Structure 1
Amino acid sequence: MSTSVRVHAEEAGAAHPGYVVRPATRSDVDGARSVMLDTVYGDLRSGYVPRWHADIIDPEGVYLAPPRHTLLVAEYEGEVVATAGVRSHGPAHPPNPRWLAERYPSGGTAQLCRVYVRAEHRRRGLARRLVADLLDFAAADGGYRAAYLHTDPSVPGAEPFWRSLGRVVCDERELPGGGQGIVHFELPMPAV
């Protein structure tokens, strides 16, 4: 994993001392997995679904080993309290619309995923900071042409948060039959 992630010290960490945002290491895997699983069971209410969440079980193989992937963690008092990852896989068809998979192909797309913050640490700018660092990582890679993500709009606060950072490219609720009901976003890549 690259260590080229720039830390935005002027953002959440300065306003809320005690938080450290950094690339995850092997020693963070259990803490990161705990944040992720608590989120899929609590906030997303889906529970662990292998076809959607295999990366949660193997964050080391998915995020730490591949050179174009990364997993960031926010740590507070020695505990992982937030996660955010990038992987070089675009949205798959199916279940996503074919045109979306073609627009955001694997290899050229930095997919942001697992941007999760424990409830008691929210509203402190951690997610915004993690996303900024992920976008810096993707831009520094040089091979990504787009930054993409999808979110479940039924999760309180998720849709407004992502709308504040990017633009909607597909709201499946507007498709015939409602698709999966998720919203797809593109985020601007920073200049290198």
Structure 2
Amino acid sequence: MRSDFLPTGFLREVRVWRPGVLQVDHVSTVRGAAWHPGAVTQLEDRGAEGGTRLVLVEAAYDSPLVQELVNEVQAEYVQRYGGPDDTPLSPAEFAPPGGAFLVALLDGEPVGTAGLRDHGDGDVELKRMYVRAAHRRRGHARRLLAAVEDRARALGHRRVVLETGQMQPEAVALYRSAGYEPTAPYGHYADSPHSIHLAKQLVEH
């Protein structure tokens, strides 16, 4: 297992988790901000960034870095919808064995997030899918989405469901181009006229 799967400037103690993934007992940034234990995997990104590396880190939903990024997501919702997403969420919903929360790092810099929370009966919900504005239109969101789907399969889920909105046309276009189709409304915004509910089958019935 190659230790250079981890971003430059990070200290770590690593043990093998499963092929292609590392289990991290401790990761701390050079600034001293602690990460919760999680898994690290690598995605090669050789596009517009020119040889950069996209790394996915599994982190706890209530960890400081995740909350910083979630606050950015919520601020964008305020701009687009006039208020934050007030869906009730618990850190435990994004914890194994049914859930996960991923942070995307580009050469060590956090650039995006995506969470999975178990809905039962083979369904898992995609939440807080986000790429920072300065890193958009470079294919990172599509790579992140594909990686999250792979993670959902590894967790044993058969279908990903999600809720987005009419004021996020870029997100809607991404999901539909990736094979997501309309599904029955569910959850906190099931009755909202502005919500769009989509789903993608990960494995055949």
In the alignment, which residue of structure 2 is the partner of 1:140? 154
Secondary structure of 2:97's aligned partner: coil
Q: Distance in 1 between matches of 2:199 and 2:40?
A: 20
Q: Distance in 1 between matches of 2:61 and 2:124?
A: 25
Secondary structure of 1:183's aligned partner: strand
- Name the % identity: 30
Partner residue of 2:103 out of 63, 73, 86: 73
Q: Distance in 2 between matches of 1:122 and 1:53?
A: 28
Larger radius of gyration, structure 1 or 2? 2
1:41 aligns with 2:75: yes
The structural deviation recorded for 1:171 is: 8.3
1:121 aligns with 2:155: no
Per-residue deviation, residues 164-183 of structure 1 (Å, max 9, x unmatched): 112332487xxxxx744211
Gap regions ≥5 residues in structure 1: 90-105, 173-177
Q: Distance in 2 between matches of 1:114 and 1:27?
A: 10
What TM-score do the two structures reach when normalised by structure 2? Answer: 0.64
Partner residue of 1:21 out of 34, 55, 65: 55
The structural deviation recorded for 1:163 is: 1.2
| Residue identity opposite 1:184 in structure 2 | H
The structural deviation recorded for 1:153 is: 1.9
**Against the structure 1 CA distance between its residues 122 and 28, is the aligned structure 2 distance closer, same or farther, given a 3 Å change threshold?**
farther
RMSD of aligned Cα (Å): 3.2
Per-residue deviation, residues 107-137 of structure 1 (Å, max 9, x unmatched): 4202111110110011111111111111111
Q: Select between 120-129 and 179-188 the one with higher mean Cα deviation.
A: 179-188
Partner residue of 1:86 out of 94, 100, 116: 116
**Against the structure 1 CA distance between its residues 27 and 42, is the aligned structure 2 distance closer, same or farther, given a 3 Å change threshold?**
closer
Q: Which has the higher strand share?
A: 2
| Residue identity opposite 1:68 in structure 2 | G
| Residue identity opposite 2:112 in structure 1 | A
Gap regions ≥5 residues in structure 2: 1-16, 22-38, 186-190
What TM-score do the two structures reach when normalised by structure 1? Answer: 0.68
Q: Is this contact kept in 2: 1:171–1:181, CA < 8 A? A: no
Q: Is this contact kept in 2: 1:5–1:134, CA < 8 A? A: no
Q: Which runs of 4+ in 1 moved over 6 A?
A: none
